[in-house]
Amino acid sequence: MASDRHQVKCIRKRGDHYDPHERIEGIGGTNADGTPWFVPEDRAIGGIESGKWSFYTYVGGKSVDVIVATHNNRKYLKTTADGYAPNNLLNLLECPR
């Protein structure tokens, strides 16, 4: 089953957006019709794990996949290694509330 693929253009963090240790609350982007979308982190993780959705960032002319990782028995979103630090998700703009 093919998943719907979406470009992540913004994130929302709990707390200070620029603190690399704050968890991502959700990810967002823009639909083909120009309307914004936002998915809470737990739904995005579930969508990735079920194969319903796949996400990517496009930074510096490079497309990088968003994956599910685990730290201290807690799942979270991050990008695959691309040689750039820090994680591409953390460099994205804040999603509007």
Amino acid 42 reads D
Task: Please say if the pLDDT value at position 82 is more than 80.
Answer: no
Predicted confidence at residue 16, as pLDDT, reads 60
Say what the alpha-carbon torsion angle 85, 70, 62, 53 is, to the nearest 10 degrees: -160
Give 79 or 81, the one with higher predicted confidence.
Answer: 79
Question: 1 vs 96, which has greater pLDDT?
Answer: 96
Domain count, the chain: 1
| Residue pair 55/27 in contact by the 8 Å Cβ criterion | yes
Q: Which domain holds residue 77?
A: 4-94
Which residue has 């930074």 as its token pair? 59
Residues 6+ apart with CB under 8 A from 95: 10, 11, 12, 26, 27, 28, 36, 38
